[in-house]
Amino acid sequence: MHFDIFCRVIDNFGDIGVCWRLARQLADAPDGHQVTLWVDDIHRFQRIEASVGVQPVQSLTHNIKVVHWTTPAPLREPGDVVIEAFSCDPPETFVEAMKAKGSLWINLEYLSAEAWVESFHAVPSLQSNGLRKFFFYPGFTSNTGGLLRERDLLAQRDAWQADARQRAALLAALQVPADVIAGLQAGWRQALLFGYPGAPATALIHALEATQSPWVVLVPQGMHPNIINVATPHVRVVEIPFVDQAGFDRLLWSSDLNFVRGEDSLVRALWAGKPLVWHIYEQEDDTHLIKLQAWLAQSGYPDAVGQLMMAWNKKEDAAARRHLDAVLQYPAWNDWVAAAARRTDSLAQQPDLATNLTTFCAKNC
């Protein structure tokens, strides 16, 4: 099959991150599907994929093309399946061409653990022009579209974690000081802090210091400036440069504790199998907290971890510090480590999103 994926980059890198992963996984499937990825913000795309150029149409692999989605949009023949990521509205001229070709139209929705998602997944969306359009919801249960996961991802993770030299080389490439790398090799613990503005980052530093064990906190460049270059007797904070998707996965794999934000980073942190704190994208009327609570209810994490995540997302410094103190102490820490590993193993038993999507499209094309 030939897939068109339309991606409008709204903010940050979550939209293009999801679409680029999906494009690669469709192209790498056993059937080797052809994929055309339409992106409106090429410069943002270049931040996560260095091979992307600025030309209007380019081939990144033998079966992936990238089209710069401009106004007016380039005239191209639609594929068998057209994926509209996150209700981004493909150009009207392209929709007319889809009608002539008889393309299947998929509305790829945002990730949610809320119960209603199962009822709306794979439901048709009636179109006055006669096109067949369906909602496709990613999710955490077998009654949803599943999660993006490369076929050999967990094997890659295990191989990476088994070779300490790869971790040291990655950190060196990110200009982490040599004495910090040596400390990590000697048993210091590592946290990755990737959150939205306002996250109680200072509370995290104080809580890690209270463990009386050495910690290194890696912070992507430009985030959480209030804690950059903080040094306490047991905590070193190191700012690191922006990394591509593969580098981000490896940072997650090599960290003992991951603080992540948005949907794409959450899924990658889940596949790392390590304790994580999710900073969900903030919405009006605290709708995001309802989504967070639904996800926590499915997670199998200890109650104390759920309380920490709620405090973290409410940006409550005192409460976050109190709950961090609780979960970082033994035996609570061991319980969290075990629960995180179980959740990853459970999710890995389900088919991945790209597989579910191609199966659905093959039945409906």
Integer Cα distance of 152 and 158 in angstroms: 10
- Whether residue 49 contacts residue 20, with contact meaning beta carbons closer than 8 Å, is answered with yes
Integer Cα distance of 326 and 332 in angstroms: 7
Three-state secondary-structure class, residue 135: strand
Bridge partners, 58 (sequence order): 66
Say whether pTM exceeds 0.85.
Answer: yes
> In the structure encoding, which two tokens stand for residue 342, read together?
């179980």
Integer Cα distance of 134 and 122 in angstroms: 6
Q: Considering 4, 84, 239, 263, which one is annotated as catalytic?
A: 263
pLDDT computed for residue 11 by the predictor: 67
pLDDT computed for residue 215 by the predictor: 97
* Domain ranges across the chain: 2-147+351-364, 153-348
Residue by residue, pLDDT tens for the chain (365 residues) are 999 999 998 766 778 999 999 999 999 988 889 999 999 999 888 888 888 888 888 888 778 999 999 999 988 999 999 999 998 989 999 999 999 999 999 999 999 999 999 999 999 998 888 899 999 999 999 999 999 999 999 999 999 999 999 999 999 999 999 999 999 999 999 999 999 999 999 999 999 999 999 999 999 998 888 898 677 999 999 999 999 999 999 999 999 999 999 999 999 999 999 999 999 988 888 899 999 999 999 999 999 999 999 999 999 999 999 999 999 999 999 999 999 999 999 999 999 999 999 999 999 98
Residue that is written with structure tokens 């919405």 in the block: 283
φ, ψ of residue 64 in degrees (nearest 5): -125, 125
Do the domains at 2-147+351-364 and 153-348 have one common CATH topology? yes
The helix (run of H) or strand (run of E) holding residue 218 is strand 215-220
Q: Considering 15, 84, 317, 352, which one is annotated as catalytic?
A: 15
- Whether residue 199 contacts residue 315, with contact meaning beta carbons closer than 8 Å, is answered with yes
User: What's the sign of the alpha-carbon dihedral 353, 354, 356, 360?
Assistant: positive
From 318, 331, 337, 332, select the one nearest 207 (Cα to Cα).
318
The radius of gyration computed from the CA coordinates of the chain, to the nearest angstrom, equals: 21
CATH hierarchy code of domain 2-147+351-364: 3.40.50
From 70, 77, 68, 76, select the one nearest 37 (Cα to Cα).
68
- Spelled out in words, what is the top-level CATH class assigned to the domain 153-348? alpha beta
Integer Cα distance of 254 and 226 in angstroms: 24
49 catalytic, yes or no? Answer: no
- Whether residue 365 contacts residue 1, with contact meaning beta carbons closer than 8 Å, is answered with yes
Q: Can you say whether residue 175 is alpha, beta or left, with left for phi > 0 and alpha for psi between -120 and 50 degrees?
A: left
Cβ contacts of 209 within 8 Å, gap of 6 or more: 215, 232, 233, 234, 235
80 catalytic, yes or no? Answer: no
Three-state secondary-structure class, residue 235: strand
Three-state secondary-structure class, residue 322: helix
